[in-house]
Amino acid sequence: MRSGNLGYPRIGKGREWKKALELYWAGKLEEETFQAEMKAIRLRNLKTQQERGIDVIPVGDFTYYDHVLDTAAMFGLVPERFQYEGGVPSLAVYYAMARGSREATACEMTKWFNTNYHYIVPELDNISPVLTHNRLLDAYREAKAELNIEGRPVLVGPYTFLKLSKGYAPEQLAVWIDRLLPLYGQVLRELEAEGVQWVQIDEPILATTLASEELDHVARIYDRLTKEAPGIKLQLQTYFEAVDHYEAVVSLPVHGIGLDFVHDGGRNLQALGKYGFPEDKVLGAGVIDGRGIWRADLQDKLDLLAVIGQAVSADRLIVQPSNSLLHVPVSAAQEGALAPVLREALAFADEKLEELALLTKAARSGAEAVASELAASKRSREALQQSPARSRKEVHARIADLASQPSSRAGDLEVRREVQQKRWNLPLLPTTTIGSFPQTPEVRSARLKWRKGEWSESQYEAFIKDQIKIWIDVQSELGLDVFVHGEFERNDMVEFFGEKLDGFAFTANGWVQSYGSRCVKPPIIYGDVEFTSPMTVAETVYAQSLTATPVKGMLTGPVTILNWSFVRDDKPREEVAYQIALALRDELEALEAAGIGMIQVDEPAIREGLPLKREQWPHYLDWAVRAFRVSTSTVKNETQIHTHMCYCEFHDMIDSIRAMDADVISIETSRSHGELIESFEEHTYDKGIGLGVYDIHSPRVPSVEEMASMIDRALRVLSPEQFWINPDCGLKTRKYEETVASLRNMVQATLQAREKYAVHVTG
């Protein structure tokens, strides 16, 4: 039995990767120096795995932005607007695809399956693929030359790559398979010639709901690839769920199969017991949770491996994480400030590598060889479970009484619309923003001084008030119709609330990559969640005191707080969501009592929580919608509830979005605006809605004409009387100048649209 890994966090223990990227983008790091820094981080990552005793180490999982973008660039799949002239795409072209440029909008970005990681969506329109360079060969050579590591190159599989791409009709799938297979074959032949023994090909799409005929495509792909390079062994890796067509998958003509035994709901293990496993294949047994941050019950994992071992001999087993460790922080060793009972229960990437090595040692030498480690694992988990934080009686009582609590507004939509319009008297096509304004270096510096105790509470509050006033004045000068206070006091839209609720803990360096250089530090929900005191009232009321224009209260919704946190593993996620929802209900009631009559409860992550299996969607959506409504149901009819969502394929869940019963919804759509508009041609939506008219993830300032075109496209299928105009997300990551310029153009585009569509409305 061997230990193996599927991928390692890119960012470095001190986020060195992020810092290097941002310095390079800012022109403060020469390309040669940047490349050297990237290499140093890459080698440190490999050396860490080597020193932890991992037998099978992945290479090629490191990236300069995103692994799907890397695959597109390797095959020359660069859209025409980036003025690519062939050959290896330059860093300028590569980053233009990811972030946009003055001349071209960025490629679409969306969530990697049901995680909070974002990938760049490949665009295949009118492009003939070609192998520009074999980046896996470079990675393999480097690991071997620098560290004497016989690495296993990692490649996004052809079927997953195509299913996640856009720019071709469904009936063209087979054609695109035929276009890509020779290039994948060339990659494998070059690796074979170099002496590579194994290649890991990731096909997580096999863990989604696939029609049986789709397996015919997959079988054809791997029949071809094994023949392209017969001297190389292919490890087909699935993760995030069970595979539906187990017998077909394990019968594919490859040399190894990787299965997730953590997030499979027991179905992979059941299929293994029922159907067995081919005697000519290696099984990559994903038994350590690659997405959670809790220490494993090592005895439980040994018992699981024993069950797996009844179907697969030890010499054909690799003990590995359930998926790439990209989704967890690097090391828990830096978290000395946490309470010992919590700290001892944590396992980040480095600790998970140690767990893999321990399990492998126990399998080889017997459990007695790791008896002390097994005992420590058991003690740490039991100590956390017995913590008072997990036995808050009032929280448990509210959950038990949930069935008798309101979960719908007092008035229906028409009643609310009438009283809200009377109260607010908003113009046609009202303008607003999503919530946050730029978190400048001055804002971050002030927060750091306050946290370090260098500034008093009153100094920090005065600074925040100054920032709020500056941006209330900016919004007034721009002519927006509904303001926000800017969220300058908030480090992160989830962490901010977690810090003010019981049941949460926070790490010093628990960073994970969200997209590009954007890293987030998810809170840890380790105990029962409980409201203690108002969290947002003071800043919102102050902002409202500066203007007669309505200022929205800004909250993060229960499902997003859940999905963007590391969640305790001893309770169903559904119950934790209800705990959060009840705490947020208390905050909404406090805002309303303070005179705030528009409240936005953001749910940007509600869709990413969808299970990969469609048959499980109804249950998830039922409790996710209910959690949102539990938090918003007790406000008055005249209080207008807004919400915001990201990357939402509207047609997939329009009924559930409607059931959330928010008065106004905004959806992040600027990179895929056209596709969303098409869904409104098939579905009706009767509530207020704003489709983001420009992309905030790109530093470019869109023109008035671009945004006017976006508005026109939306109003072909939506009524001007229900349409709101806004950026597609918060503006926290943008700079002052580009933010003001973009919003000014947005308002100008709105004024033109009002003239154009007022005739339509009045006529």
Residue in 177, 170, 176, 160 with CA at minimum distance from that of residue 127: 176
Query: Is 643 strand, coil or helix?
Result: strand
State mean pLDDT over 486-503: 93
pLDDT score of 552: 97
pLDDT at 672 over 90: no
| Residue of higher predicted confidence among 16 and 408 | 16
pLDDT score of 615: 93
pLDDT at 678 over 80: no
State mean pLDDT over 545-573: 96
The verdict on 567 and 469 lying in the same domain is yes
DSSP bridge pairs for 666: 644, 690
pLDDT tier for residue 670 given thresholds of 50, 70 and 90? low
Does 54 fall in a domain?
yes
- Name the H helices within 479-616: 495-500, 537-545, 558-563, 573-593
Task: Tell me the C-alpha distance between 754 and 744, whole Å.
Answer: 15
Task: Tell me the C-alpha distance between 49 and 56, whole Å.
Answer: 9
The verdict on 102 and 247 lying in the same domain is yes
Q: What is the DSSP letter of 96?
A: H
Residue in 237, 147, 218, 232 with CA at minimum distance from that of residue 186: 232
The verdict on 490 and 372 lying in the same domain is no
445 is in an annotated binding site: no
Neighbours of 466 (CB within 10 A): 12
Does 404 fall in a domain?
no
Does 78 fall in a domain?
yes
The verdict on 371 and 476 lying in the same domain is no
Residue in 200, 174, 212 with CA at minimum distance from that of residue 67: 200
| Tokens linked to 161 | 């790559």
Q: Which of 542-551, 629-638, 697-706 shows the lowest per-residue confidence on average (mean pLDDT)? A: 697-706
Backbone angles phi, psi at 285, to 5 degrees: -95, 105
The verdict on 149 and 238 lying in the same domain is yes
DSSP bridge pairs for 123: 166
pLDDT score of 652: 76
Task: Tell me the C-alpha distance between 554 and 634, whole Å.
Answer: 17
Q: What is the pLDDT of residues 29-75, one digit of tens each?
A: 999 999 999 999 999 999 999 999 999 999 999 999 999 999 999 99
471 is in an annotated binding site: no
Task: Tell me the C-alpha distance between 351 and 539, whole Å.
Answer: 40
The verdict on 218 and 313 lying in the same domain is yes
378 is in an annotated binding site: no
pLDDT score of 763: 40
CA 719 to chain centroid? 32
pLDDT score of 686: 85
C-alpha pair distances (Å), 90 with each of 83, 85, 94, 406: 11, 10, 6, 57
State mean pLDDT over 639-657: 82
pLDDT score of 491: 85
Neighbours of 700 (CB within 10 A): 18
The verdict on 255 and 330 lying in the same domain is yes
The verdict on 369 and 458 lying in the same domain is no
Burial class (CB in 10 A: 0-12, 13-18, 19+), 328: buried
Does 144 fall in a domain?
yes
Query: Is 119 strand, coil or helix?
Result: strand
For 441-444, which contacts have Cβ atoms below 8 Å and span 24 or more sequence positions?
A: 443/467, 443/488
Q: What is the DSSP letter of 368?
A: G
668 is in an annotated binding site: yes
Does 501 fall in a domain?
yes
111 is in an annotated binding site: yes
State mean pLDDT over 324-346: 96
Percent helix, strand, coil in the chain, to 5, is: 50, 15, 40
Segments forming the whole domain that contains residue 672: 426-762
C-alpha pair distances (Å), 442 with each of 449, 470, 486, 599, 728: 10, 13, 14, 28, 25
344 is in an annotated binding site: no
Does 402 fall in a domain?
no
At a CB cut-off of 8 Å and minimum separation 6, what does 112 contact?
68, 118, 119
DSSP bridge pairs for 673: none
292 is in an annotated binding site: no
pLDDT at 735 over 50: yes
Instruction: Scan for tokens 């690839």, then name that residue.
Output: 225
State mean pLDDT over 595-622: 93
Q: Kindly list the catalytic residues.
A: 697
519 is in an annotated binding site: yes
State mean pLDDT over 72-81: 97
pLDDT score of 71: 98
Amino acid code (one letter) for 469: K
Q: What is the pLDDT of residues 286-307, one digit of tens each?
A: 999 999 999 999 999 999 999 9
654 is in an annotated binding site: no
683 is in an annotated binding site: no
Return the CATH number at 462. 3.20.20.210
* Residue 425 region by backbone torsions, left for phi larger than 0, else alpha for psi between -120 and 50, else beta: left
Task: Tell me the C-alpha distance between 739 and 699, whole Å.
Answer: 9
Task: Tell me the C-alpha distance between 704 and 182, whole Å.
Answer: 44
Task: Tell me the C-alpha distance between 710 and 742, whole Å.
Answer: 14
Q: Are 520 and 512 in contact (CB under 8 A)?
A: yes
Q: What is the pLDDT of residues 349-359, one digit of tens each?
A: 999 999 999 99
Does 623 fall in a domain?
yes
pLDDT at 367 over 80: yes
The verdict on 344 and 446 lying in the same domain is no
pLDDT over 90, % of the chain: 88
The verdict on 469 and 379 lying in the same domain is no
The verdict on 430 and 355 lying in the same domain is no
pLDDT over 70, % of the chain: 97
The dihedral sign for the CA sequence 351, 355, 358, 360: negative
Backbone angles phi, psi at 201, to 5 degrees: -110, 115
Last residue of a domain, one of 353, 385, 417: 385
| Residue of higher predicted confidence among 160 and 116 | 160
Task: Tell me the C-alpha distance between 483 and 474, whole Å.
Answer: 10
pLDDT tier for residue 393 given thresholds of 50, 70 and 90? very high
pLDDT at 106 over 90: yes
Q: What value, to the nearest 5°, has the Cα angle with vertex 361 and ends 357 and 367?
A: 125
Last residue of a domain, one of 365, 385, 405: 385
518 is in an annotated binding site: yes
The verdict on 365 and 464 lying in the same domain is no
**Structural domain total, the chain:** 2
Burial class (CB in 10 A: 0-12, 13-18, 19+), 190: middle
pLDDT at 722 over 80: yes
Query: Is 529 strand, coil or helix?
Result: strand
Q: What is the DSSP letter of 549?
A: S
17 is in an annotated binding site: yes
436 is in an annotated binding site: yes
127 is in an annotated binding site: no
Q: Which of 275-289, 300-314, 589-603, 652-666 shows the lowest per-residue confidence on average (mean pLDDT)? A: 652-666
Residue in 142, 165, 173, 116 with CA at minimum distance from that of residue 46: 142
- Average pLDDT of the chain, as a whole number: 94
Last residue of a domain, one of 385, 413, 441: 385
Helix (H) or strand (E) holding 350: helix 349-365
pLDDT score of 359: 97
pLDDT tier for residue 212 given thresholds of 50, 70 and 90? confident
602 is in an annotated binding site: yes
Does 261 fall in a domain?
yes
pLDDT score of 44: 98
Rg, Å, the chain Cα set: 26
